[in-house]
């Protein structure tokens, strides 16, 4: 029973070496902080974050269900291909999570409920045929929109303001570009299953160049947040650390196109950079 529970947690990617699904709940909480700072209603904000987190659990479990054949190539130790979780168990868990998340969101307010519904539908469209946004040009934008919605969801607990809108836009834009690294590390399985990600359609080197350009455009936008907040040296220092980490991830990608191990390393570095960006927004809200 304990092993099954751990396998289900792994299925929903609660614990991940790259990016935990708890990240989505954290983004929601950051949205709440940005909208209300020290006037934040902690309990209500945590409930909204919980609803968004459970929805992300469902989305990731659903993705594993539809990608089980791909994972047999890319990551055979995942719960479904390793048979630690059966497809029937995964489907039951996914349905339960998709039902629970909007019900919890509805206890907060209508806007939070609608944000969770939208996020869930977007996740379903990402994985499930015939739409399957994952297979085509809309995969990257859907990731960006998803992250933006989590921020707006949290802000909706109190009031959507300029800071939360700015955070949603910048994090969404950067996520849409950076998710290319995930596609790079999954190339082998995606090719085998005829999934049309941007690295497959453009080629690995061009995809890396596109991500580099998106980063050059997107990261300076983070400093524009100072237009909405007072001058904050801690925010600037955190962003400087983020830029250094992310620049290094791009550097190793540009030097070693075609290396799966480098793709995985870069993906982890960019995930850590994403956490630092979240920390930077926490600083702007609390200091």
Over residues 94-123, mean pLDDT: 96
Residue 26 resides in a domain: yes
169 is a domain residue: yes
The more confidently predicted of residues 256 and 46 is: 46
- The larger pLDDT score, comparing residue 111 to residue 198, is at 111
Whole-number average pLDDT of the chain: 86
- What is the tens place of the pLDDT at every residue in 230-249? 667 888 888 888 888 888 99
Q: How many Cβ atoms are within 10 Å of 67's Cβ, its own excluded?
A: 22
Domain assignment present for residue 241? The answer is yes
Q: Is the residue at 228 inside a domain?
A: yes
Write the CATH number for 104: 1.10.600
Place 188 in a pLDDT band, splitting at 50, 70 and 90. Answer: confident
Per the domain annotation, does 185 fall within a domain? yes
**Count of structural domains within the chain:** 1
| 1: in domain | no
Q: Is residue 229 part of a domain?
A: yes
Cβ burial 130-148 (10 Å sphere, 16+ → b, else e): eebbbbeeebbebbbbbbb
Strands in 96-252 per DSSP E: none
Q: Is the pLDDT of residue 71 over 80?
A: no
The residue range of the domain holding 169 is 19-286
pLDDT, position 159: 83
Q: Could you tell me if residue 13 is inside a domain?
A: no
Within 8 A by CB and 6+ apart from 60, the residues are 11, 12, 13, 21
Task: Give the confidence band of 53 by pLDDT, cuts at 50, 70, 90.
Answer: very high
Confidence label for 56 from pLDDT (cuts 50, 70 and 90): very high
Q: Above 80 in pLDDT, residue 285?
A: no
């Amino acid at each position: 029973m304990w092993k099954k529970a751990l396998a289900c947690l792994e299925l929903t990617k609660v614990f991940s070496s790259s990016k935990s699904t708890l990240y989505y709940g954290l983004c929601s909480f950051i949205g709440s902080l940005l909208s209300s700072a020290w006037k934040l209603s902690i309990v209500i904000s945590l409930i909204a974050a919980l609803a968004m987190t459970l929805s992300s659990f469902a989305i990731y479990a659903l993705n594993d269900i539809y990608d089980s054949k791909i994972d047999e190539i890319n990551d055979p130790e995942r719960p479904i291909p390793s048979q630690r979780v059966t497809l029937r168990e995964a489907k039951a868990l996914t349905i339960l999570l998709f039902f629970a998340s909007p019900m919890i969101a509805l206890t907060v307010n209508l806007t939070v409920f609608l944000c969770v519904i939208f996020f869930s539908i977007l996740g379903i469209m990402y994985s499930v045929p015939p739409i399957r946004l994952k297979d085509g040009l809309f995969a990257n934008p859907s990731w960006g929109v998803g992250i933006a919605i989590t921020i707006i969801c949290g802000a909706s607990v109190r009031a959507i303001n300029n800071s939360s809108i700015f955070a949603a836009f910048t994090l969404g834009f950067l996520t849409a570009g950076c998710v290319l690294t995930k596609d790079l590390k999954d190339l082998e399985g995606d090719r085998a299953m005829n999934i049309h990600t941007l690295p497959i359609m453009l080629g690995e080197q061009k995809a890396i160049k596109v991500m580099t350009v998106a980063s050059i455009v997107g990261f300076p936008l983070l400093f524009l947040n100072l237009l909405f907040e007072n001058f904050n040296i801690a925010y600037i220092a955190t962003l400087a650390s983020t830029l250094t980490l992310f620049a290094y991830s791009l550097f190793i990608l540009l030097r070693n196109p075609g290396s799966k191990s480098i793709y995985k390393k870069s993906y982890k570095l960019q995930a850590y950079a994403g956490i630092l960006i979240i920390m930077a927004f926490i600083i702007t809200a609390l200091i």
